[in-house]
């Protein structure tokens, strides 16, 4: 019997009283620690610095940017001209002040994005979330008059729910949302796509597609390229399968590809990434390939597929983006990015050409995105690594010019003595596992196990962890001025996407213990090298990463000196009954199936706590407003550990959603809490 199940009542009086008491204990210890306020102030200084990169979104001759700072914690949606932006002297005009809106409406709005209506770009659909939750509202906004258009004046307004609005034309949108009983999936997401005409009630919107209640969700998208406006509906039976339909002659027709393939459309092309080996018209393609075909011919069953990328033992497709007439391929080779450009043939009998992207910055981590894929052949490039701040470039694929550096974030900590090393270790079954080690030259050369070390990982949902600059880790942990001079380690374990779909499948469902073996192998490797020792080795992870470190806590407590577990999954018996949990059964399994529970109980930390075992100190954090991973996971684990008299610290932010914090002030408090905890336990 689960004696702590009452803590799943998210906003119940008893549960919130329990949260208030635990928060008070955490704040009475860590918040008053002499290290806490300097870390919080330093972090806030970074998050609200005026010299951060203002990341752009091009809208014709204008550039939009969403910006937060000390005076605008919830942020400003603002704009400047393209010429001023690329010239380095943008004169920003405020479009929408979120802090003022919060004050006027007495709501804690968090900006979730906007989409403008082409070609005029006068109207936008703006999505707002209360407190950072996944549930949101969408409102139509006039970008000229800079005001929301109320429903009473014919504006599109979607009430609070998980869902979206998508432009079709000036007077029509697709809507996915909660329309009452039967309109949501078991996972709590929309299962219908409806066509909504301006001036009519949203409840009268016509259903154009309907999924099943057992699905994860349905979604819809509309491309905006003149002459190639594709209306696409995606039905997701589970987290890793999608059935795609495209509008043809007034009807949505199914695209004949395996359900586990990812499909996208651009101009006259269809792009397919199979998650398993794929046979098509006598052709064979391995999992993780990027395939392309002429769309109309593919739908008619007459066109062949061309492989733009084929994976190797070390290289996987990190992603791709389409400009007006090119495709930029981003390949991850042993967790380092490399970019190339594919150009379609100029005639029906021609071939695609592929060449390395000339002049790409030299960086461990590179990303590329289209400036405006419907109209231009320009791309944004961002380069970074653990010790190098992000740099933003723009370049044209049609001109023989080097990328233009638009902005470079300043260094936030002294990295002059810091180095990055990449190592590989054999996991329990012999699989080669890469990991990064970052620290001072002295720390990396240490053999006495004295260095405080923070090890992180994720290992799920085919998400790759790459080298990324973190001013918070640099200031609070790595640099000599932090007072710690610690080491940071990132483990690229199975279950993630570092080596494509096969790397992910190697950690799915009953194979998930391989993920934990990989993480343990990295931990043992850095201890064996003498960089650190178990008493000085801390681990951190959030969401699925919280499940990872929760399992480390119960599997090998002797390996670690402290555990930071954020917005975690921990109760694998009930996870599918809590909020969006049912959507992850393709990743973990169905606890109601005896055969699945037989292995799930082997990595359900909540069920594996042994009162007689000596566990390391644990910090558990979550958010009341997290409507993705239920806060009951963290609450119940803390209560269980308290009852067993273990060293556990619990803190729950009232806002924040799955990110744990709704603004820079809350983020700074959370980071100060984490690093104060790690310092007090490991240094």
Lookup result for tokens 């109207």: 123
Q: Does 543 participate in catalysis according to the annotation? A: yes
Residue (of 307, 311, 264, 263) closest to 504 by Cα position: 311
Lookup result for tokens 């954020």: 566
Task: Note the residue count of the chain.
Answer: 683
Tell me: cis bond preceding 119? Omega within 30 of 0 counts: yes
Give Cβ neighbours of residue 372 (< 8 Å, ≥ 6 apart): 58, 324, 378
Taking the C-alpha atoms of residue 532 and residue 522, their distance in angstroms, rounded to an integer, is: 12
Taking the C-alpha atoms of residue 596 and residue 302, their distance in angstroms, rounded to an integer, is: 42
CB 266 within 8 Å of CB 247: no
Q: Where are the beta strands (DSSP E) in 347-475?
A: 353-356, 365-370, 378-384, 391-396, 404-408, 418-426, 432-440, 453-456
Taking the C-alpha atoms of residue 123 and residue 464, their distance in angstroms, rounded to an integer, is: 36
CB 601 within 8 Å of CB 548: no
Packing angle of the helix pair 36-47, 664-682 (nearest 10 deg): 140
Taking the C-alpha atoms of residue 37 and residue 34, their distance in angstroms, rounded to an integer, is: 7
Residue 232's alpha-carbon distances to 158, 169, 221, 319, in angstroms, are 21, 15, 5, 20
Q: Is 592 exposed, middle or buried (0-12, 13-18, 19+ CB in 10 A)?
A: exposed
CB 111 within 8 Å of CB 66: yes
Residue 103's alpha-carbon distances to 107, 160, 199, 204, 603, in angstroms, are 7, 19, 29, 33, 45
Taking the C-alpha atoms of residue 509 and residue 523, their distance in angstroms, rounded to an integer, is: 23
Residue 42's alpha-carbon distances to 121, 473, 481, 570, 678, in angstroms, are 40, 11, 12, 32, 17
Backbone φ, ψ for residue 597 (5° rounding):
-65, -25
Tokens in use for 96?
């929408």
CB 532 within 8 Å of CB 526: yes
Residue 646's alpha-carbon distances to 13, 172, 640, in angstroms, are 26, 57, 9
On the CB side of 254, CA atoms within 13 Å amount to 7
Question: Among 230, 576, 633, 658, which one carries the catalytic annotation?
Answer: 658
Q: Does 423 participate in catalysis according to the annotation? A: no
How is 608-666 classified by DSSP, letter by letter?
Answer: H--TTS-PPPEEEEEETT-SSS-THHHHHHHHHHHHTT--EEEEEESS-GGGT-SSHHH
Backbone φ, ψ for residue 25 (5° rounding):
-65, -45
Question: Among 543, 583, 604, 623, which one carries the catalytic annotation?
Answer: 543
- To the nearest 5 percent, what fractions of the chain are helix, strand and coil? 25, 35, 40
Tokens in use for 213?
């209640």
Active-site amino acid positions: 543, 658
């Amino acid at each position: 019997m689960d004696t702590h199940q009452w803590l799943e009542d998210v906003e119940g009086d008893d549960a919130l009283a329990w949260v208030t008491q635990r928060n008070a204990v955490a704040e009475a210890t860590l918040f008053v620690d002499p290290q806490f306020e300097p870390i919080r102030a330093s972090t806030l200084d970074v998050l609200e610095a005026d010299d951060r990169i203002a990341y752009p979104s091009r809208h014709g001759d204008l550039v939009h940017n969403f910006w937060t700072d000390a005076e605008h914690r919830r942020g400003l949606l603002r704009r400047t001209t393209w010429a001023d932006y690329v010239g380095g002297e943008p004169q920003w005009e405020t479009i929408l002040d979120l802090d003022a809106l919060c004050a006027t409406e007495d709501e804690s709005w968090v900006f979730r994005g906007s989409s403008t209506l082409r070609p005029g770009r006068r109207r936008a659909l703006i999505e707002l979330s209360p407190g950072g939750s996944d549930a949101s509202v969408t409102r139509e906004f006039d970008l000229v008059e800079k005001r929301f258009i109320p429903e009473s004046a014919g504006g599109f307004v979607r009430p609070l729910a998980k869902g979206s609005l998508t432009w079709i034309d000036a007077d029509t949108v697709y809507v996915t949302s909660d329309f009452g009983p039967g309109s949501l999936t078991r996972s709590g997401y929309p299962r219908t796509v409806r066509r909504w005409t301006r001036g009519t009630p949203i409840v009268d919107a016509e259903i154009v597609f309907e999924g099943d209640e057992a699905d994860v969700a349905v979604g819809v998208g509309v491309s905006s390229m003149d002459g190639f406006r594709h209306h696409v509906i995606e039905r997701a039976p589970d987290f890793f399968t999608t059935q795609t339909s495209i509008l043809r002659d007034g009807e949505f027709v199914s695209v004949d590809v395996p359900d586990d393939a990812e499909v996208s459309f651009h101009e006259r092309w269809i792009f397919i990434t199979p998650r398993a080996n794929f046979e098509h018209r006598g052709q064979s393609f391995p999992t993780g390939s990027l395939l392309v075909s002429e769309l109309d011919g593919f739908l008619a069953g007459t066109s062949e597929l061309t492989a733009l990328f084929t994976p190797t033992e070390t290289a996987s497709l990190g992603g791709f983006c389409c400009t007006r007439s090119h495709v930029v391929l981003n390949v991850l080779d042993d967790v380092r990015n490399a970019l190339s450009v594919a150009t379609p043939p100029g005639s029906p009998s021609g071939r695609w050409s592929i060449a390395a992207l000339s002049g790409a910055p030299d960086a461990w981590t590179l990303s590329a995105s289209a400036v405006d894929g419907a109209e231009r052949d320009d791309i944004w490039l961002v380069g970074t690594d653990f010790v190098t701040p992000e740099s933003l470039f723009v370049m044209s694929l049609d001109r023989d010019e080097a990328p233009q550096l638009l902005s470079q974030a300043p260094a936030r900590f002294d990295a002059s003595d810091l180095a990055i090393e990449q190592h590989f270790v054999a996991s329990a079954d012999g699989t080669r596992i890469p990991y990064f080690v970052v620290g001072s030259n002295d720390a990396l050369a240490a053999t006495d196990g004295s260095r405080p070390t923070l090890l992180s990982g994720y290992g799920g949902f085919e998400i790759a962890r790459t080298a990324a600059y973190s001013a918070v880790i640099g200031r609070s942990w790595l640099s000599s001025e932090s007072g710690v001079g610690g080491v940071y380690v990132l483990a690229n374990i199975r279950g993630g996407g570092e080596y494509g779909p096969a790397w992910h499948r190697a950690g799915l469902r009953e194979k998930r213990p391989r993920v934990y073996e990989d993480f343990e192998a990295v931990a043992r490797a850095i201890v064996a090298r003498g960089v650190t020792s178990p008493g000085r080795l801390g681990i951190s992870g959030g969401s699925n990463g919280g499940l990872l470190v929760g399992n480390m806590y119960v599997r090998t407590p002797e390996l670690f000196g402290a555990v930071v577990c954020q917005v975690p999954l921990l109760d694998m018996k009930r996870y599918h009954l809590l909020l969006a949990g049912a959507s992850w059964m393709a990743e973990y399994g169905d606890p109601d199936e005896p055969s699945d529970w037989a292995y799930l109980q082997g990595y359900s930390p909540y069920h594996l706590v042994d009162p007689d075992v000596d566990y390391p100190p644990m910090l558990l954090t979550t958010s009341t407003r997290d409507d993705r991973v239920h806060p009951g996971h963290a609450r119940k684990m803390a209560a269980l550990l308290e009852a067993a008299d273990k060293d556990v610290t619990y803190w729950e932010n009232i806002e924040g959603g799955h990110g744990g914090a709704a603004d820079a002030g809350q983020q700074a408090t959370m980071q100060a809490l984490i690093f104060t905890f790690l310092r007090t336990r490991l240094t």
